Amino acid sequence: MKIYIDGKFYDRGEARISVFDHGLLYGDGIFEGIRIYNGKVFKLKEHIDRLYHSAKAILLDIPMQPAGMEQAVLETVSMNAKVDGYIRLIVTRGEGALGLDPAQCERPSVIIIAGDIQLYPQEYYEKGIAVVTAATRRMPSDSLDPRIKSLNYLNNIMAKVEAKQAGCLEAVMLNHEGYVSECTADNIFIVSRGTLLTPAPHYGALDGITRATVLDMAESCGIPVSETALTRYDLYTAAECFMTGTGAEIMPVTKIDGRLVGDGRPGPITKRLIDAFRNLVLQKNL
C-alpha cells in the first residue's frame, strides 16, 4: 500500500504524522470517505467540493487547489491499482505547539489512503438490519454545523457503542430537540404514504453525497421526496426505512427499537432504489 502524505508517497509501514499534529491532538481537521467502483472514483468532484467547503467553514487553508487535490486522489488510486475500494482523504491543521491555538500550526497536512472497504454481508441487504435509538445526542447545529465533515466523531462513536451493546450494527441519533438527525455514520430515510422522507441538514444530518444521490434517483424514478423534520414516531410508523452512506450504500432497516418496520422486510421503494444505485455505479462515467 502506498499512502500519500503532503505530496509524497510512503509505504504503509513508513507513513507517519507528527505526534504534535493538531488533527491527532485535538481532532482539528476534516475528511472525506470516497468509494471506488470499477476503477472509477464515485462522485469525486462532489466530495472535493464538500472538503473545501468544510475547510472554509473552519478557516483551514488547504495548501493545494481543488484540481490538484482531485489529481492527487486519482494518482493515489492508480499507485495502489485499486479497482474497487475506499479512499480516506484527510486534511489536518498540521503540526503545532501544545495548546488549542491553530495559529501555531504552520502548514496543514494532506493524507490520502486508498484501501479496501469492509462491506456489510449481502444477507443484510436482502433481510435488512435492526437499529436502536441512541441516548447520545447529535452535536447541536449551533455548536458545529453538521455539514462540516470534521475529525470530531466522539459523539458518533459513543452512539455506535450503544448500538453494539444493544446487539445492533447501527443507532439512530436525535438532536437536542428530539428530532431525528442521522445514524452514527449514515443518513436515514423513511417511506411514509408513498413519499420518501429524510431529515433536513439543519436537524443535524450530514449533507451526504450518497444521500444526495438517492434524492436525485428518487426524483428520476418519480418517487415524491421531502427533506423535513422526523421524530421517532415517524420512524416507528414508517412503511419502509433505510440508511445511506459511502460504506453502507443503501441498507434496509427492518426493525427500530424492537418495532418492525412495515412487514419486517425491505420494501418495494427501498429495493427499487438499491437497484437504481447499483446500476448507477456500474456506469463507466461516475
Q: From the candidates 2, 82, 149, 160, give the one annotated as an active-site residue.
A: 149
Cell triple for residue 266? 425491505
- Residue 23, CB half-sphere, CA atoms under 13 Å: how many? 20
Active site (annotated) includes residue 149? yes
Strands in 109-115's sheet, in edge-to-edge order, are 8-11, 2-5, 109-115, 85-92, 29-37, 40-41
- C-alpha 206/C-alpha 167 separation (Å) is 25
| Amino acid code (one letter) for 252 | P
- Are residues 102 and 22 in contact, defined by beta-carbon separation less than 8 angstroms? yes
- C-alpha 196/C-alpha 250 separation (Å) is 14
Q: What is the DSSP letter of 99?
A: S
- Are residues 6 and 69 in contact, defined by beta-carbon separation less than 8 angstroms? no
- C-alpha 43/C-alpha 89 separation (Å) is 14
> Annotated active-site positions, please?
149
